[in-house]
Structure 1
Amino acid sequence: MDDAPELTGYDNEDEHLGLYQRATETGVEWWRVSVADRPETYRLEHGSADARGAGTVDIDLVVDEENLRAKLKKWRREGFAIDADDTPNDRAANARISFMPELQRVAALMSAAKRRPREGTGETVRIAEVEVPCGVGGALVPPVNPAYLFAARFNDIVEDIAENRRVMLIGHTGAGKTSLIEQVAARSHHGVLRSNMNGQTTVGDFVGFWTVKGGETLWVDGVLPTAMREGLWLIVDEIDFAEPSILAALTAVLEPHGRLVLKEKGNEIVAPHPSFRLFATANAVGAMSQFRHLYQGANLMNEAFLDRWRVYLLDYLTPAEEADVLMRTLAPNMTRALATTLAAIAADCRAAFAREDLSSAFSTRRLLDWAELRLRTGDPERAAAPAIYAKVSPEDAALIRGIVRHRIAPDG
C-alpha cells in the first residue's frame, strides 16, 4: 500500500471536498473526498497515521453523490470532522462550528470556578440565577417589592453588579431601569443613593462644596464621595442630561477601582469602599439615540465615555411578564383574563408611543395603579381618570381611551 498523503485538502467550491478525520489512541484516522474522473462522482480515500505521521491508505473507491451523502452522515456519527487546516473555506466553516462549543465550555469552567468577594456580612443571596454579596443593611436600603419579576434577561445585569462592573441601563421612561437596581439592592441589603440629572444638579451637589457654619468653614461631601466612602450604591439617573463637569468627575471613578480626586479639598483622594457600586440610567444614548427628539435636552455622549460602562438596553416587560406581575401584585383579586387584557392595553399604548402617536410612555407603575383602582371601582374608565388621563395631554388621553375601548367593550 502507498504511504498516506499529507493531510491537506483541496481548494475548490464544493462543500463536500476535503479531509475528514478523528483522533485515535495511536494517531489519527481520516477520509479524503476529491472529485473523480467521471462526472458527478467522488473519490474516497481512507487511511490512518500514527503520531509520527506515518501511515497507509487502505481504501480507495469511487461513489456517486447519494452514496457520498450517506457516508458523510455516517462519518459525523462516528466523530469525524473536516480538517480545520484544509482549505480556506473549510477552515472558516470549521472555526464557526467549533467556536460556540469551545466558548460554552470555557464559560462553564469560569462559572464553576468563580468565587464571589465577601462583602459586608460575608453572606450572599441568590437573585435571579446569581449569588450577590450582601451588605450591612441600614436606612437607605430600598423596600423589597415581593411581586417584582426578575426576568431571565436580567441575569447578565445582576452578574455585572455582583462583579462590581459599572452598569448603565438605557430605555424609555418607565421601563423599570431604576427599579431593577433598587430591587437587587433591597434583596442584598445594600443602601442606595440616587442623583437625578434634572438640570438643577450641580457639580457641587455631586462632588461636594465648602460652606460656612457657625463661623467655621466646612467641607460637605456630595453624593459621589459619600457613596464611595460608605459603600453605598449610587444611581445617576438620566445621565444623558448631566452637565459636562459632572461627567468629567465620573470618568476617573469609572475605571476599575477608580479613585476620586477632590481638587477643591486639596486634592484629597477618595478610594472606593468594596461595596460601592455605580450605575447610570439614560433615555437617549447608544441604541436609544434614535429617540433623542422625544427627550428634549438629552446630551450626545461620546463613545469613549460609553466604553467605560456595560450598557444594557432595557425594554418594557412583555405582555405575558406584565400579566404575571399584575397577578402577583394584586392576588387573589386579579384573574388571569383581567391581567392579560390590561397588559395588552399597556403594550398597545407603548407601541403607539414608539410610533410617536403618543407623547407619553406607559409605565408598569401606571398600569398597576390603574389595575388597583379598577378592582376597587369595577369601572375601567372611572379608574383611568386619576391613574392615566389626568396625567397626560387631552390628545394622548383621547388616544388611550380609544385603545382601552378597543380592548374592553363598554357596558351595554
Structure 2
Amino acid sequence: MNVPELTEDENLGLYQRATENGAEWWRVSVADRPENYRLEHGVDDSNGTGSVDIDLVVDAENLRAKLKKWRREGFAIDTPDAADEAGAAKRVAFMPELQRVAALASAAKRHSQVEGAGAGETVRIGRVDVPCGVDNPLVPRINPAYLFSERFNDIVEDIVENRRVMLIGHTGAGKTSLIEQVAARSHHGVLRSNMNGQTTVGDFVGFWTVKGGETIWVDGVLPTAMREGLWLIVDEIDFAEPSILAALTAVLEPHGRLVLKEKGNEIVAPHPAFRLFATANAVGAMSQFRHLYQGANLMNEAFLDRWRVYMLDYLTPAEEADVLMRTLAPHMTRALATTLAAIAADCRAAFAREDLSSAFSTRRLLDWAELMLRTGDPERAAGPAIYAKVSPEDAALIRGIVRHHIAPAA
C-alpha cells in the first residue's frame, strides 16, 4: 500500500481498532524535535478507560513504516466529518435500530426454542441452551473447574446453530478444551484429528485395505463423525495437506455432504448432531505470528469465509486466578493464585514480544502450581513443570520473571 508524504493534517490523530479486550489505539502527534513524531499506544477497556503503555518518538521514515503496519492490522484513523450532518445522523440512528431488531430476533429465537423443548433434553452453558446427545465412550470428561467466560457465549450459540467454527490463537490458549468442555456437558462424543504433517487424506477420509483375505473399506475420521453424529475437531488445520482441505470444503456448509470417490462416489449425509470445528495458530488475525509456527500454511479468504472464526486469547490474570483456586481448592489461596497468574501473564507478554520462544499455557501453570503445593518450593516445582520443557535461554528468562514476583525464602 502506498503511503503519501507525511503532513500534519493527514497523518496526525488517533488510529483505532476493536479487539476482544476493548479499543486498541495509537495516537500520533508532533514531537519536540523537527520532523519527529510522538507515538502513544493504549487499550481502552469496556468502560472506555485505559492508559498509555507505550510512548516513543520516531522520525518520518519510521512513522511511514508504522502507518503501513497499522493499516495491515486493521487500524483506521478516527476522522469524523462534522460537516456531513446527514451522514452523522445515519450513524447515530444505526445502533438504536440495530438493538431494536436484534431484540426482536432474540425473542423469536427463544420462542422457537421453547416450542421445540419437547424434542429433547438441553443443558444450560453460559446463557445458551445446548441440546444433549447420547452418552458414549467418546464423550470427554467434565472439568468442574473449567471457566466459561462471557465471551464464549457466541461460540456456544454457533454450535447450537450448526455453524462451522474455527478457533485461532496461540498454543495453550484453550481452543480445543473449550469445544471439549461444551461437548462434555452436553453429552456429545468428540473425535480429534491432529494435522501434524503425518496425517494423510486416507486417515481423514478413508481407505481400502485387506483383512482376512477380503478387501474392505475403512472410514476415516470425517465420514465416521458424519455418520455417527460426533463432533470433529481438526486441530492445527493450518498444517493440513491441500487434499485434506479439499475434502473438508465439501462439508463446510451446514448440510454439506461428503462424496467418497474412492468408494464408487458414495454420498455420506451428515447426522443432525454432527458438528465440525477447526483450530489454528497462524490464520487470519494470527497471520502476523506465522514465523513462530514453522510449517503453517497460508489459507485463502474463500476458505476462511466458510467458517465463523473466533480469536481466543489466554485467560485474563483474574480469570486464571479463579481457575487455579477452583482446580486446587482448598489449598490454593487468592494471594498465591494472583501471583502465579501474574507470572503467566508476564511470560506470555515475553512470548508475544518474541523474547520467549515457547508459550505458557494454563495447563503448564496448573501443573506447576500443583507440584508447588506438593513440594513447597516454586523453583524445585518449576524444574519438571517448566524449565525442562524449554530451551536454556527460555528457562533463564522465565526464572528471572519468577524471581521478580516471588522473593526467595528467608
TM-score (norm 2): 0.78
**Code of the aligned partner of 1:407:** H
CA offset at residue 113 of structure 1?
A: 1.2
- Which residue matches 1:92? 87
Partners of 1:266 and 1:88 lie apart in 2 by 66
Q: 1:218 aligns with which of 200, 216, 219?
A: 216
CA contact (8 A) 1:120 1:275 kept: no
Partners of 1:348 and 1:118 lie apart in 2 by 48
- Which residue matches 2:101? 106
- Which residue matches 1:20? none
CA contact (8 A) 1:119 1:133 kept: no
CA contact (8 A) 1:174 1:363 kept: yes
Could you say what secondary structure the match of 1:201 adopts? coil
Partners of 2:117 and 2:183 lie apart in 1 by 13
CA offset at residue 236 of structure 1?
A: 0.1
TM-score (norm 1): 0.77
Could you say what secondary structure the match of 1:257 adopts? coil
**Code of the aligned partner of 1:99:** F
Alignment of 1:13-412 (within 5 A): 89-114=84-109, 115-116=112-113, 122-412=120-410
Say which one has the larger Rg.
1
CA offset at residue 372 of structure 1?
A: 0.7
Q: Deviations over 1:149-208 (max 9, x none)?
A: 011111111110111000000000000000000000000000000000000100000000
CA offset at residue 347 of structure 1?
A: 0.2
**Code of the aligned partner of 1:210:** W
**Code of the aligned partner of 2:351:** F
CA offset at residue 342 of structure 1?
A: 0.1
**Code of the aligned partner of 1:134:** C
CA offset at residue 121 of structure 1?
A: 7.2
The percent of aligned pairs where both chains have the same amino acid is 89
Partners of 1:89 and 1:238 lie apart in 2 by 47
Could you say what secondary structure the match of 1:234 adopts? strand
Partners of 2:142 and 2:116 lie apart in 1 by 22
**Code of the aligned partner of 1:280:** A
**Code of the aligned partner of 2:291:** H
Q: Alpha carbons of 1:119 and 1:395: their partners in 2 closer, same or farther (altered >3 Å)?
A: farther
Partners of 1:265 and 1:330 lie apart in 2 by 51
**Code of the aligned partner of 2:243:** S
Q: Alpha carbons of 1:204 and 1:310: their partners in 2 closer, same or farther (altered >3 Å)?
A: same
Give unpaired runs (5+ residues) of structure 1: 1-86
Q: Alpha carbons of 1:154 and 1:384: their partners in 2 closer, same or farther (altered >3 Å)?
A: same
CA offset at residue 96 of structure 1?
A: 1.1
CA contact (8 A) 1:121 1:135 kept: no
CA offset at residue 326 of structure 1?
A: 0.5
Give unpaired runs (5+ residues) of structure 2: 1-81
Which shows bigger deviation, 98-107 or 318-327?
98-107
Partners of 1:273 and 1:292 lie apart in 2 by 35
